[in-house]
């Protein structure tokens, strides 16, 4: 999954999710630093992205979403998986981030049960990172899901046991959006791609504030 903002550099960033000794204070500090970075960048980009709109949920979006994923090889480098993500945007509810006449990002949700859902895939074009698109996509999806009676939202991403720097940014993004690490599932994607499951309790009150 893609993060839209690049976080401040932190040598311990990729380990904060698993280090018991780091404690809650280390995680809080990382989130605080990241939110300061996000706020600064969003303010500086406000004029450039004043026309950013979110549309959805919609279906049959493979033609729109395919070029976005193809522009993100650092996150979506496994061809078989990328093709499946693209196909899934046709049948799963998808939100689009639109800047003027251009779709710059999207988020697709998979419904598991009546009260739980998952961010299945998400991407923002590289030139539009740090625009606030990812944050707006998640908040729009959360609002809709809450209206449908969903209480919990999850996302799966690459675990910190893998040294990939791009997914380190992704994990920090989801932390800043209120997701917390739940468990590692190393066998889900294979030993070379250990999976981290993150979860978030969502509510209409929070999204409408």
The tens digit of pLDDT for each residue in 3-53 reads 343 443 343 333 444 443 444 444 555 545 545 445 455 455 555 556 799
Classify residue 2: in a domain, yes or no.
Answer: no
CATH number, domain containing residue 201: 3.40.630.30
Per-residue pLDDT at 24:
47
Q: Give the domain extent around 19.
A: 13-208
State the Cα angle at 86 between 84 and 199, rounded to 5°. 80
Per-residue pLDDT at 25:
46
In 3D space, the residue among 129, 170, 163 whose CA is nearest the CA of residue 11 turns out to be 163
The Cα–Cα gap between 41 and 146 comes to: 28
Per-residue pLDDT at 116:
97
Classify residue 8: in a domain, yes or no.
Answer: no
pTM of the complete model: 0.77
Sign, Cα dihedral of 170, 175, 179, 185: positive
Classify residue 105: in a domain, yes or no.
Answer: yes
Q: Can you list the residues of the chain whose pLDDT is less than 70?
A: 1-50, 205-209
What's the mean pLDDT when you consider all of the chain?
A: 82
The phi, psi pair for 127, rounded to 5°, reads -65, -15
Classify residue 6: in a domain, yes or no.
Answer: no
Classify residue 33: in a domain, yes or no.
Answer: yes
DSSP the chain: ---SSPPPP-TTGGGTTT-GGGHHHHHHHHHHHHHHHHHHHHHHTTTTTTTEEEEEEE---HHHHHHHHHT-TTT---HHHHHHHHHHTTTS-EEEEEETTEEEEEEEEEEEETTEEEEEEEEE-GGGTTSSHHHHHHHHHHHHHHHTT--EEEEEEE-TTS--HHHHHHHHHHHHTT-EEEEEETTTS-TTS-EEEEEEE--HHHHH-
Classify residue 5: in a domain, yes or no.
Answer: no
Per-residue pLDDT at 29:
52
Classify residue 34: in a domain, yes or no.
Answer: yes
Per-residue pLDDT at 45:
52
Classify residue 96: in a domain, yes or no.
Answer: yes
What is the tally of structural domains in the chain? 1
């Amino acid at each position: 999954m893609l993060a839209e903002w690049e976080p401040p550099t932190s040598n311990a960033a990729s380990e904060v999710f698993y280090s018991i000794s780091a404690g809650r204070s280390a995680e809080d500090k990382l989130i605080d630093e990241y939110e300061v970075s996000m706020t600064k960048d969003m303010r500086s980009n406000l004029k450039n992205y004043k026309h950013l709109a979110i549309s959805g949920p919609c279906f049959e979006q493979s033609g729109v979403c395919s070029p976005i994923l193809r522009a993100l090889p650092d996150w979506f480098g496994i061809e078989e998986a990328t093709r499946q993500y693209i196909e899934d945007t046709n049948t799963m509810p998808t939100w689009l981030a639109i800047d003027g006449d251009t779709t710059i990002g999207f988020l697709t949700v998979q419904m598991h049960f009546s009260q739980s859902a998952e961010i299945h895939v998400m991407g923002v074009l590289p030139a539009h990172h740090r625009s606030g698109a990812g944050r707006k996509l998640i908040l729009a999806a959360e609002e809709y899901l809450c209206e449908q009676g969903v209480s919990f939202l999850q996302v799966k991403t690459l675990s910190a046991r893998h040294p990939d720097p791009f997914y380190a940014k992704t994990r920090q993004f989801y932390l800043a959006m209120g997701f917390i690490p739940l468990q590692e599932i190393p066998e889900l994607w294979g030993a070379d791609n250990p999976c981290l499951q993150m979860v978030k309790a969502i509510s209409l009150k929070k999204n409408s504030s």
